[in-house]
Amino acid sequence: MRICMIGTGYVGLVTGACLAENGNDVWCVDIDKEKVSNLQAGKIPIYEPGLEEIVKRNVAQGRLRFTTDLKEGVANSLFVFIAVGTPPNGDGSADLKFVFGVAEQIGQVMENYKIIVTKSTVPVGTTYRVKEILARELKKRKRPDVEFDVAFCPEFLKEGSAIEDFMKPDRIVVGTENSRTAEFLKELFAPFMMRENRFLSMSIPSAELTKYAANAMLATRISFMNELARFCERVGADIEEIRSGIGSDSRIGPAFLYAGIGYGGSCFPKDVRALIHSAEQSGNDLSILKTVEKVNQDQRNWFLEKINDFYEGKLEGRRFAVWGLSFKPHTDDMREAPSLQIIPSLLKSGAVIVAFDPVANNQAQKILGERQGLSYKDDPYEVLEGAEALILLTEWPLFRRPDFEKIKALLKAPVIFDGRNQYNPKRMDQMGFTCVGIGREINQTSKKINASKPSNGKIC
């Protein structure tokens, strides 16, 4: 089948590449000239495991092309996907100017029947507005004879495992106005459902809301666990034990129950806010989600307070090693990463930060800029040298089983602030570390430790 993918970011590039890998002819269109020429030269603008090979293979085999010419992409395709960004406006609402701009451009160039599929995450009613814009542009061109259908097909891929998620989806949700469009899309996605039919066809508004509801539910689970983690510390319970206790209940399930320093990324924060906003527009108060959002913000401050309390408010001149900068492992995406709040706040308190991330050092440098007291290293152990403590912000697998003896030898004091509960506090205790995690009993002990003179290495 012939497909035009407009917007070659995380979603558009992965979708376009995976559709080409399954034998389709794909034109990927982007307005970013540099991105397009890099892609034409085989340079992938994002870090996503497995993506580079698929892109290179399909470009070489002539099924995947990159262009800035939207007209060329549209002319060659039956399906036209809109996968541009929907960033947040100041009030939390989704900024739809890129989606509507693309709809306008498609309406200005299409000459024959197309299925226009919105893939960007958009509030209920957006796909109908896309339809109105297309009809308006065709009318302007005196081409109301050009037929088209619209659909909404949300993307559920997770950055870091995007290829796997796309190739083996839990489900494919499609919102259409008629069964003909649903059948076309079912045919397009059939190769991804060979083992089991996971195609869910529904109305366009339901599909639009399904995407927001899914992200809001996952964010709610995270904030629930984070809030509970704070309570755990007060009463001597361990959030990790509670996680296994409740996650084993088949009604609850184990996913997205990890306490930490809050969710980030390009989707959860913006989608929760956009859902709150669009509900408000129709007179509904999504009070649970407002709390989810607040708990997420508070969680980072609470983690910072733990560090601050540990050093009795004296962070001035203390040097910390930071492991992990991206918002989650296996990506260099820094959008709304907890590190973007935690690092500037520590610097503001006078601390010195030496940071390492396996892939996001460059991205972080671009966003955080040149700041006094902040530097980066390409080796996880180099950042530890002479630091008062290690602060773990992203749970890259590399950090799960590090060389603890080496860490101890390099740090000034064997102290770890484990923002992702990667280390068992009891085992860390046996190895001579003070490990301050999230919602874990050991924190009660660490609070009692006088760490105001940590440089002799004897915290306990």
Binding residues vs ligand NAD (CB under 6 A):
6-12, 29-32, 35, 83-86, 98, 101-102, 120-121, 155, 157, 159, 266-267
Q: In whole angstroms, give the CA distance from residue 19 to residue 17.
A: 6
Question: Residue 73 CB, nearest distance to ligand NAD (Å)?
Answer: 9
Question: Residue 344 CB, nearest distance to ligand NAD (Å)?
Answer: 23
Question: Residue 29 CB, nearest distance to ligand NAD (Å)?
Answer: 5
Task: Say which of 18, 267, 435, 460 is annotated catalytic.
Answer: 267
Q: In whole angstroms, give the CA distance from residue 454 to residue 320.
A: 12
Nearer to ligand NAD, 332 or 388 (CB): 332
CB 173 within 8 A of CB 192: no
Nearer to ligand NAD, 275 or 390 (CB): 275
Helix (H, G, I), strand (E, B) or coil at 216: helix
CB 288 within 8 A of CB 323: no
Nearer to ligand NAD, 4 or 115 (CB): 4
Q: What is the DSSP string of 361-373?
A: HHHHHHHH-S-TT
Let me know if 79 is exposed, middle or buried by CB neighbors in 10 A (0-12, 13-18, 19+).
buried
Q: Is 267 one of the catalytic residues?
A: yes
Q: What is the DSSP string of 118-145?
A: E-S---TTHHHHHHHHHHHHHHHTT-TT
Nearer to ligand NAD, 102 or 391 (CB): 102
Give the residue closest to ligand NAD by C-beta. 9
CB 388 within 8 A of CB 412: yes
Question: Residue 175 CB, nearest distance to ligand NAD (Å)?
Answer: 15
Nearer to ligand NAD, 29 or 218 (CB): 29
Q: In whole angstroms, give the CA distance from residue 117 to residue 72.
A: 17
Question: Residue 35 CB, nearest distance to ligand NAD (Å)?
Answer: 6
Query: Which amino acids are annotated catalytic?
Result: 267
